[in-house]
Amino acid sequence: MRSAISGYSRLTKVHKLSAAGVAAVGAAALAFAVIPDASAGTEAHSVAVKPVAWNTNSFGETQQEELNKQSETAVKKAQADAEAKKKAEADAKAKADKERAEKAAASRSEERKPVQAAPAPAPAKKTYANNLDGWIKEALDIMKAKGIPGSYNGLYRNIIRESSGNPNAINNWDSNAAAGIPSKGLLQVIDPTFKAYHVDGTSWNIYDPVANITAACNYAAKVYGSMDNVNSAY
């Protein structure tokens, strides 16, 4: 069979040109469309139609342009995001720096309270011996604070004469004893006198040595000017 149609196995140059011409005529024919003419009944007329340009090269270029545009948009968005992040970090740092500076300024301007010196320790309480010497000295310090006159020698002399230095001495034989109000203590003071001339801050016990001395000296100061002026019973 192949030898029988061997004369048709290849297209000659004339055949190729003829085929190209037919394709051109067909393409040209597609440029016209037969449109019925309503005014002419069944007759039709042809209208020129612009052929559509189409080729693979132009289609590929269009796709590439679209991809390029998308890539540029993505790059611009990434740059904008990076700039926005950088700006946000810079703003946050500036805010933190400002707050730190304001806090430091407030701390420097805060009024410093003066440091108060610790109060001086209270002086140690004076102690006195629990004997006649100690009682007289304590009584004299109280008398001095209260403005009651008297001296160590004046007190000592009268105490020895009245009670021999016994704080519990009591006179049960003189006129006061006969009246029911015996003299008591170191300086032999009767109860009404002790109560009337009692010195604040001392005991209300008439037998208390310091209370007895200060009350008797307070009475003697009013009557004799001072216990130093008393040389006998008073």
d(CA 1, CA 86): 82
User: Which residue would you say has higher pLDDT here, 68 or 207?
Assistant: 207
Least confident range of 99-103, 114-118, 193-197: 114-118
pLDDT band at 189 (very low <50, low <70, confident <90, very high): very high
CA distance 179 to 220: 22
- What would the pLDDT profile of 145-168 be if each residue is shown by its tens digit? 999 999 999 999 999 999 999 999
Assess whether pLDDT exceeds 70 at residue 28. no
Please indicate, yes or no, whether the overall pTM of this predicted structure exceeds 0.85. Answer: no
Label residue 215 by pLDDT band (50, 70, 90).
very high
By three-state DSSP, how is residue 185 classified? coil
**DSSP conformational letter for 102:** H
Spatial distance between the Cα atoms of 18 and 124, rounded to a whole number of angstroms: 142
Could you state, in order of their start, the residue ranges of all structural domains in the chain? 10-48, 56-105, 132-229
How far is residue 38's CA from residue 145's CA, in Å, rounded to a whole number? 146
3-class DSSP assignment, residue 71: helix
What is the CATH class of 132-229? Answer: mainly alpha
Angle subtended at Cα 50 by Cα 48 and Cα 54, rounded to the nearest 5 degrees: 150
Q: What is the pLDDT of residues 134-148, one digit of tens each?
A: 999 999 999 999 999
* Mean pLDDT, range 95-111, rounded to an integer: 77
